[in-house]
Amino acid sequence: MNPQSLLQELAELSRIKGNWYSVASTFEKFKQHYSKAGYAHPHRRIRDACKACGYSLNTVNRMMAVREFFDSVKGSVKDLAGVDPDTLSFPSLEVIKRLHQVNPNEGVKMLAEVAGGKLTYRNLREHYKQVFSKNASAASGQQLAKKERGEFEEAAFRGLLYAQPSMFVDKIKRSIEKVKPMQFPLSVDAIAFGWDPETKKSEDVGFMFFHLRSNENFKQRIEPLLSRLLFNACFFKAIWVIFPSNIGSERIRIFSEILHLLDRHSVGIAILPWEKERGRTEDHILEFVRVPRSGPSPDWRDKLDNFGSLYFPLTQPSLPEDA
C-alpha cells in the first residue's frame, strides 16, 4: 500500500471512536515506509500522518508500543480469542503493559480480566500501584538500574532505526545491528555496518548509549565513557553518543566542547527525549546536537580484525604460562 493510501486510511480511522489498534497498525506501516525508503525529511511525513489520524506523535508511539505488547501475549489469553483489539480500552491495556513489565503473570491475569469486562480502569490502576510498590521494595537498586538502562537502550536503538535516513548522508548502504557482549572487541552498543567498494574501506558507524540515573554520580560515569569513546572512535568512520535529555543541556554542551578541544571531529552527539517524571518516553525522535565532520584520527579501521584476534584471548580467565 502506498503512503498516500495509508494517509487516507488514517484519516478515515480518525472518524471511528474505537480505533487505537488500527491506527497503530497503519501508522507503523507508514513509518516503516519512510524509514526504509531513504527520504531526506521523514519527520515531516510523520507529522502529516499525525495530523491525519488526529493524535500526537507521543500518543501514536504509545499505541504502537501497546499493540506490540498485545500481539506478543494475546496467544496466552483464551478470553482474547476472536476479540477485536479496537474494542478494548487502550488506557487499560497501557497499564497492563506496565504491569506485565513488573510482574508478567499478573499482567496476563489482568489482561484476561479486562478482556472479560470484569475490571474497571480505576481498579486496574490501584492493582498496578500495589504490585509495583511490592516489587519495587523487594528489588535491589542494581536490578532497577539494569531495568532502567535496558529500557533506555531499547528506546535509543529504535530511535536509530527511525533516524537513519537523515543520519547518514552518504550513499553507502548500512545495516544497524545491536552488539552483543563478547562478540565484538569494542564496547559499543550498536553498529551500522557498511563497506565502500571504491575505497575498499570499512564505512562502519558505531553507537554508544549513555544512561544516567538521578542518584548516580555524573563525574564517575562520564570519565570512563570519555576514555572508551576516544579509543573506540579510531575504529569507525564515525561514532555517535546518545544521551537522555534529562542529564541536562549544559552537561551535553560541555561534553561537546571537550570533543572539539581534543579535535575528535568524527564523534557525533544525539539526544533522546527522556522524561524526568517517568524515566522514559515513547517519543523516539533523536535530536542531533553534534554531527561528525571528518573521519577518525588516528584511523585504525584496518587494524580492527587484528586487534580483535589479540583482544579476545586477553579477556579469558587465564592464559597459558610460558614454558
pLDDT in tens, 65-110: 999 999 988 888 888 888 899 999 999 999 999 999 888 889 999 9
Reply yes or no: is the peptide bond before residue 298 cis, omega within 30 of 0: yes
Same domain as 266, residue 180: yes
Same domain as 133, residue 13: yes
pLDDT of residue 233: 94
pLDDT of residue 40: 53
Residue 319 lies in a domain: no
The CATH number that applies at residue 249 is: 3.40.1350
Same domain as 126, residue 178: no
Percentages helix, strand, coil for the chain (3-state, rounded to 5) are 55, 10, 35
Residue 148 lies in a domain: no
Same domain as 178, residue 287: yes
Number of structural domains in the chain: 2
Same domain as 202, residue 112: no
Contact of 23 with 53, CB cutoff 8 Å: yes
Same domain as 171, residue 64: no
For the entire predicted model, the pTM comes to 0.56
Same domain as 308, residue 161: yes
Same domain as 222, residue 127: no
Check residues 238 and 200 and name the one with the higher pLDDT: 238
| Nearest residue to 124 via CA among 100, 159, 150, 157 | 100
Residue 321 lies in a domain: no
pLDDT of residue 29: 87
Domain interval for residue 192: 155-312
Contact of 44 with 57, CB cutoff 8 Å: no
Same domain as 296, residue 161: yes
pLDDT of residue 314: 57
Check residues 44 and 23 and name the one with the higher pLDDT: 23
Same domain as 283, residue 186: yes
Residue 189 lies in a domain: yes
